[in-house]
Amino acid sequence: MESWHGTTILGVRKGGKTVIAGDGQVSMGNTVMKPNAKKVRRIGEKGDVIGGFAGATADAFTLFERLERKLEQYNGQLMRAAVELAKDWRTDKYLRNLEALMIVADKDVMLILTGNGDVLEPEAGIAAIGSGGNYALAAARALADYEQDPEVLARRAMQIASEVCVFTNDRLTVETIDG
């Protein structure tokens, strides 16, 4: 079975502002299946949490829905909701089979969530996942000392990733939260 590729998600937290950017490409093998997928969105009752996903779309939407329920259950506390989701993701027979990674953020914290039960706070406020994640991460880290605006930094790093990674394009979805 061919595997689906083509996601780059980058989170940048700097100067009280958090940005999550995602490209729009979905590929199967060496074919671009969709160039304008939306992999970054607002979640939570007030839309005060942003998230981006890499992996199977249906799996990611399931995880976003579960995270939204956890946010409601824990009064919008992202860290607590993320830890509880990670516990469920690791132990629940259904959730354990979901193949996705997520970057989520609110005004206080940015996290990477994995199916292994990891809830990671990225070093230096920069996180990236997906096929082009390492390219975007390297570009963002290189630009971090020279660009103070996290949205400009994220957009430029994603542009660089799209020029290097064949599974990444330059059709971005960008969401921001001010701290």
Burial class (CB in 10 A: 0-12, 13-18, 19+), 2: exposed
- Contact 30/6 with Cβ under 8 angstroms? no
Characterise 148 by phi-psi region: left (phi > 0), alpha (psi -120 to 50), beta (else). alpha
Q: Which helix (H) or strand (E) holds 133?
A: helix 133-143
3-state secondary structure at position 97: helix
What are the residue numbers of the active site?
A: 7
